[in-house]
Amino acid sequence: MTQNLSQEGVSRAQARSAFLHNYYNAVPEQVTALDGDASFRRYFRIIHEDSRLILLDVAPEVGDVHAFVELNALFRKGAVRVPHIVAADGALGFVLLEDLGTEHLADRLGAQDDDLEYYETLIEMLPDIARLPESPHMKPYDATFIDMELDIFSEWLLTHWLNYEVTESWQRQWRALKKTLISTMLEQAQVTMHRDFHSRNIMWHQQQWVVIDYQDAVQGPVCYDVVSLLKDCYHTLPEEQFEHLQRHSFDVLSKAGLITDSSYTDYQQQLALTGLQRHLKAAGIFARLYLRDGKPGYLRNILPTLQYIYDAAKCVDTFQWLATCVQSEIIPLTKAKLEPLK
């Protein structure tokens, strides 16, 4: 088995070298692997003479770059700044992109007093994304898919990582919670959403914001991207800033005609429950990245994400069981799991 994996690695490296040689008509001077992507995608920085590009590498047996390429064109037509594609080979799974540098929104936060302005500007970008037409490259974001996302939490974080005993009573309440969250998300206006619109997927390049990792865009609830941005698993906003930006997002989406029949109070509730769904999924994914994919770097994001879950659940009468469970059992178990890894 080790030999087969090694051979596959060599074969992929050879395919990558052939693709680059075909583009440059030479062997590039420098090819550097980049870390940090929470998926099967691999990225390399390519430097040759005065050219600096990024290579996206997705082996065909594990993924497909066609959505990445097609949705890139869709976002650009909608005036949303995304990386420029220089060359692509969908069959081989390679895409050459402009090099946007290394500065993400996450890197700029807290350095100056501009955080609020950054977030306001990014919120004002959301109607441009929301108005993008549906694409055949967008997967269905329906009740079945939302339910599957939620079960990542119970399967990977609770069962596989924490060895938490899920009782019959817990399962009954969990099913009721999922039903409520699914209804909340499907009852909202359905628009195009980036789906991972957070501080690590927004880059600062040539004095403007550029959106990356857009390839999982779908049609879904209107406030989902707001939740991704304002309740970011990688950065927690001060409460006063969150309250201001939550109101700003409502005003921006309302003015754009994307929210027409909800009061601000209704919107706050939708935002909270949509966030609860997203954070349950995210906490499970962080555990799955560690257990299945050998990526321990995301484990440190589980506790802040569990805090979001607790904060949302404690405000809903029928979710008090989850708030209590998270506070008294899941968070302590998580801390105990993380302690040896420090």
Q: How far is CA 210 from the centre of its chain?
A: 15
**Burial letters for 134-167: b for 16+ Cβ neighbours within 10 Å, e otherwise?**
ebebbeebeeeebeebbebbbbbbbebbbebeee
What phi and psi values does residue 188 have, to the nearest 5 degrees? -75, 160
Give the pLDDT of residue 38: 56
**Residues whose CB falls within 8 Å of the CB of residue 157, separated by 6 or more in sequence, listed in order:** 283, 284, 286, 287, 302, 330
Give the pLDDT of residue 41: 86
Domains and CATH numbers, the chain: 2-98 (3.30.200.20), 105-341 (3.90.1200.10)
How far from 111 is each of 100, 114, 244, CA to CA, in Å? Answer: 20, 8, 20
Cα–Cα distance for residue pair 124/252, rounded to 1 Å: 6
Give the pLDDT of residue 36: 60
Give the pLDDT of residue 227: 98
Residue 107: CB atoms within 10 Å: 14
List pLDDT tens digits, range 71-95. 999 999 998 999 999 999 999 999 9
pLDDT band at 10; cut points 50, 70, 90? low
**Residues whose CB falls within 8 Å of the CB of residue 25, separated by 6 or more in sequence, listed in order:** none
Give the pLDDT of residue 187: 96
Tokens 């754009």 locate to: 256
Angle at 246 between CA 315 and CA 298, to 5 degrees: 75
Cα–Cα distance for residue pair 181/166, rounded to 1 Å: 20
Tokens 């994307």 locate to: 258
* Average pLDDT of span 299-309: 97
Cα–Cα distance for residue pair 156/290, rounded to 1 Å: 10
Angle at 280 between CA 278 and CA 285, to 5 degrees: 90
DSSP string, 219-268: EEETTHHHHHHHEETTEEPPHHHHHHHHHHHHHHHHHTTS--S--HHHHH
Query: Which alpha helices (DSSP H) does the chain contain, by range?
Result: 2-24, 66-77, 105-108, 115-123, 126-130, 143-152, 168-187, 224-230, 239-255, 264-291, 302-313, 320-325, 331-338
* Average pLDDT of span 184-192: 97
List pLDDT tens digits, range 260-292. 989 999 999 999 999 999 999 999 999 999 999
* Average pLDDT of span 190-210: 97
Residue in 192, 199, 251 with CA at minimum distance from that of residue 224: 192
Cα–Cα distance for residue pair 149/283, rounded to 1 Å: 11
pLDDT band at 2; cut points 50, 70, 90? very low
Cα–Cα distance for residue pair 113/131, rounded to 1 Å: 31
Do 284 and 262 touch, CB atoms closer than 8 A?
no
Cα–Cα distance for residue pair 96/85, rounded to 1 Å: 6
| Average pLDDT for the chain | 93
Radius of gyration over alpha carbons of the chain, in Å? 21
Cα–Cα distance for residue pair 319/314, rounded to 1 Å: 7
pLDDT band at 6; cut points 50, 70, 90? very low
Residue type, 255: K
Cα–Cα distance for residue pair 196/170, rounded to 1 Å: 29
Q: Which two tokens stand for residue 5?
A: 């994996």
**Residues whose CB falls within 8 Å of the CB of residue 278, separated by 6 or more in sequence, listed in order:** 224, 227, 228, 231
Tokens 């700044």 locate to: 81
List pLDDT tens digits, range 212-268. 999 999 999 999 999 999 999 999 999 999 999 999 999 999 999 999 989 999 999
Give the pLDDT of residue 110: 84
